[in-house]
Amino acid sequence: MNLLIYGPPGSGKGTQAELLHQAFDIPHISTGDILRGEVGAGTELGLKAQPIMAAGGYVPDDIMIGIIRNRLQQGDSAKGFVIDGFPRTIPQAEALDSLLNKELGRRFDRAIYLNVETPELVRRLAGRMTCPADQKTYPPGTERCPLDGARLIQREDDKPEAVKKRIEVYLEKTLPLLDYYQRQGLVSEVDGVGTILEIHKRVLAALGQSAEVAES
Ligand code: AMP
């Protein structure tokens, strides 16, 4: 199953993509995680991306297209994949279509659009805490990771100015992708407000899968 999970920052894309990875045993490809890995490793790409990400901007299209091309060529996607955080611009979407159709002989089965209104996004992102080990996020005020006890950190791009910028950039550059994928008949809109499990069940229903997968 080749899936795209799409929505504004703070809509829960990463969390839902992770559950789809577990449910269908397909790789979760997150361009945000790939970039954070590069930043953490101090690579040339990481050094270039770090200030852009910290300010809530977008890393240039040519770099991002190179990253997704390399990742999809790694050969672990035989059963499919779930892509989270890419594409974020129309040129990225066009490049991905051409990469999938012409180079890899694949196409998307579905694009899940997680819909969450802006005031709720701001509420979720402002003060959100992240585990430095696995990048899982927790509500404001949580000090320690419930899984490994590590002290949680606030991502640079979850600070108030960056949150504002991320939402503005999303509305300007990424929201138009909804129309792009709707024209291809690929979009399933899912209400992104509720518990993680409720939303997971909605996502599965949109994929025509029974909720038992979620509980097994
Ligand atoms: P995310 O974890 O998906 O919210 O991504 C974190 C940050 O990485 C974003 O705010 C951008 O700065 C950068 N980023 C991730 N994916 C992309 C992309 N497809 N295009 C441009 N920038 C990206």
Q: Give one word for 58, left, alpha or beta, with left for phi > 0 and alpha for psi -120 to 50.
A: beta
N residues, the chain: 216
pLDDT tens for the chain, 216 residues long, are 999 999 999 999 999 999 999 999 999 999 999 999 999 999 999 999 999 999 999 999 999 999 999 999 998 988 899 999 999 999 999 999 999 999 999 999 999 999 999 999 998 888 889 999 888 888 888 999 999 999 999 988 888 888 989 999 999 999 999 999 999 999 999 999 999 999 999 999 999 987 665 554
Ligand 1 centroid distance, CA of 30 (Å): 9
pLDDT digits (tens, 9 = 90+) for 107-130: 999 999 999 999 999 988 888 899
Q: Check pocket membership of 113 for ligand 1, CB cut-off 6 A.
A: no
Amino acid sitting at position 172: E
Three-class secondary structure assignment of 34-86? HHHHHHHHCCHHHHHHHHHHHCCCCCCHHHHHHHHHHHHCCCCCCCCEEEECC
User: Known catalytic residues?
Assistant: 13, 88, 128, 155, 166
Taking the CA of residue 92 as reference, the ligand 1 atom at the shortest distance is 19
Cβ atoms within 10 Å of 196's Cβ, excluding its own? 12
Asked if residues 127 and 143 have their Cβ atoms less than 8 Å apart, the reply is no
Asked if residues 92 and 124 have their Cβ atoms less than 8 Å apart, the reply is no
Q: Is the dihedral of CA 150, 160, 58, 185 positive or negative?
A: positive
Q: Which run of H or E residues covers position 3?
A: strand 2-6
Q: Check pocket membership of 155 for ligand 1, CB cut-off 6 A.
A: no
Q: How far apart are CA 191 and CA 16, in angstroms?
A: 12
Q: How far apart are CA 136 and CA 147, in angstroms?
A: 10
Residues forming a β-bridge with 5: 84, 112
Q: Check pocket membership of 166 for ligand 1, CB cut-off 6 A.
A: yes
Q: Does the model's pTM come out above 0.85?
A: yes
| φ/ψ of residue 132, rounded to 5 | -65, -20
Q: How far apart are CA 14 and CA 119, in angstroms?
A: 19
Could you give all domains of the chain from N- to C-terminal order, each with its CATH number? 2-117+175-215 (3.40.50.300)
Taking the CA of residue 13 as reference, the ligand 1 atom at the shortest distance is 3
